[in-house]
Amino acid sequence: MSLALRVTVKITPVRPAPYYQLPAGRKFGYLLHDYDLYGLSRPSRNRAPISAQGLPETIKTVNPAFMPLTLQWQKYWVELFSLSRFDKLYDGLNSAEKCIINLAFKSVTKGNRAFTNRRGWDDGYADYINGVNTNASPMEQESINCGGNVVELLSDIIRLGGKDVYQIVTLDGDQQPPDPLEINHKTAPWLVFKATISRREGYNPRTGKWAREDIVIPFDQLQNHDVPIPFMGKGSFNYIEAERIRVLPDSSPLPETYRR
């Protein structure tokens, strides 16, 4: 019998300490990398050609939904990008810095990249930041996270649709986005995740094997800075398969996202 919990989620921002720890008295889980589960990188799992050394390490929720990236949500994205790259809000950037952020937003929201999945600006949807297709429907973001990040857990393991899952917190895409100074990838990493690439290196043509399959790096659109993405969906919670999550101890230090 499936048990689906119905809860009301209150988003509580937490300012990061110098040595960041997750807040006490709440339950968090770490999203395992592909290599942790399968001993393979995402390109190898997907049987990608040798030329593809890295692919986005995306993790879909059990009940994924496409949510409109309204003007307000697109502005929230670029505020998060600006804070990550330049440590200030978008309105405080000069023209050259805004160009970097705008181009990064255009790249990350491309329809075949990772998060808009054929609902990007290049698919005819509206990118209000770059003034593309502004009379069309807004781009849409799917309920997706990435390996190496943390999620807040609202349940122990439950059965849903024949799968063992955890109920997890999401930003409610039907609501206005939060204040980027309060909810960002440093203050609430369970609500704003870092986009990651699963990478392999050192191909040996004689054996057909790679020297390393465990590398995880950031998306590169913000020039060696984290690319933060709102973990947004339909409502304030969703589910992720339990095999993908390692439950963290109370007050755990924030685990490292990348693996060099």
CB 119 within 8 A of CB 127: no
Residue that the structure tokens 């929720």 belong to: 61
Burial string for 30-68 (b: 16+ CB within 10 Å, else e) reads bbbbbbbeeebbbbbbeeeeeeebbbbbbbebbbebbbb
Q: State whether 53 and 119 are in the same domain.
A: no
State how many domains the chain has: 2
Local confidence band at 247 (pLDDT 50, 70, 90 cut-offs):
very high
Q: What is the mean pLDDT of residues 41-51?
A: 96
Local confidence band at 20 (pLDDT 50, 70, 90 cut-offs):
confident
State pTM to two decimals: 0.91
Q: State whether 238 and 167 are in the same domain.
A: yes
pLDDT at 18 over 50: no
Write the CB contacts of 251 (distance below 8 Å, at least 6 apart in sequence): 21, 22, 23, 24
Q: What is the pLDDT of residue 166?
A: 98
pLDDT at 153 over 80: yes
Q: What is the mean pLDDT of residues 129-149?
A: 98
Domain end, chosen from 142, 165, 185, is at 142
Q: What is the mean pLDDT of residues 72-77?
A: 98
Closest to 226 measured CA to CA, from 85, 17, 131, 119: 85
Range of the domain at 124: 66-142
Based on its alpha-carbon atoms, the radius of gyration of the chain, rounded to whole angstroms, reads 18
Which of 96 and 7 is assigned the larger pLDDT?
Answer: 96
Write the CB contacts of 53 (distance below 8 Å, at least 6 apart in sequence): 43, 199, 200, 201
Q: State whether 28 and 118 are in the same domain.
A: no
Local confidence band at 253 (pLDDT 50, 70, 90 cut-offs):
very high
Residue 97 sits at φ, ψ, to 5 deg, of -65, -40
Q: State whether 111 and 239 are in the same domain.
A: no
pLDDT at 245 over 60: yes
3-state helix, strand, coil split of the chain in percent (to 5) is: 20, 30, 50
Domain end, chosen from 88, 123, 142, is at 142
Q: State whether 72 and 54 are in the same domain.
A: no
Residues 219, 81, 87, 60, CA torsion sign? negative
Q: What is the pLDDT of residue 94?
A: 98
Q: What is the mean pLDDT of residues 112-127?
A: 96
Local confidence band at 110 (pLDDT 50, 70, 90 cut-offs):
very high
| Secondary structure (3-state) at 34 | helix
Domain end, chosen from 109, 142, 175, is at 142
